[in-house]
Chains A and B, each alone.
Chain A
Amino acid sequence: MQSLKGEFARRGVAIAVVSFAEPATLIHYQEQHRWPFTILADPDRVAYGEFALRRLSWLRVFSPATLKLYWKLLREGMKREDYGKDDIYQSGGDFLLDSEGNLLFAHRSQDPADRPPGAKLLEAIDSLVRAP
C-alpha cells in the first residue's frame, strides 16, 4: 500500500489508517515504522461500530486462509511485536468516502487474510470515477 500512495494521491484520494490502539501505543509504533499515512486512534471503537466492523468468530479468525497467511509471513521472517492491548477477533475494513461522507466503496474483512490488494482498490476507484 505504501508503494501505491502516489497512485492514490494522483486520483485525489487521501489515506488515513485507524487503529483501536491507544494514541500512546500508536506514537511508539509510528516512531518505529514511519508509515507515510495519517494514523488515527479509535480506542473506544466507536468508528469501528459506525462502519459496522464487528468482532469475528473463532472459526473466521483461524480460517485456513488466515493460517496460510501467517505461515507465509513467518517464513518470510516476520516477527510478532507486542504493542499491548490487542484483540485478534476485531475485524478490519477498507472504505472509500467522498467529501460529503458518502460511502463509495466498502470492504469489511471476513477473516484476517481478507484485505483487498491496493491495486484492486485503485481499480474500484477508477471505475467509480468513470461512472456517470
Chain B
Amino acid sequence: MEKIAVDQLPLLDLHGKPVNLRDHFDHYLLLIFLRHLA
C-alpha cells in the first residue's frame, strides 16, 4: 500500500504559516486537491 509522509508535506494555512497535515486528521483524512478556484 502506498504511504505518504503526511507530516513532511510543506502545506500552508491561509495566513501562510506551515501546517502539519497530521493535525487535521480524524481517524481518516479525505484530501481534496483542487484544479482551480471557481
Binding site for B on A (CB under 8 A): 1, 8-9, 11-21, 23-27, 29-30, 37-44, 46-48, 50-51, 53, 78, 80-81, 83, 86-88, 90-104, 106, 109, 112, 121, 125
Contacts and interface: CB of A to CB of B under 8 A. Distances in A.
A18 B33 contact: yes
Given A12-B27, A19-B33, A26-B14, 9 more contacts: A24-B16, A41-B16, A48-B33, A50-B5, A86-B37, A94-B32, A96-B31, A97-B28, A97-B29
Contact of A44 (B10, B16, B32): B10
Interface of A is mostly: mixed
Contacts of A53: 33
Contacts of B15: 23, 27
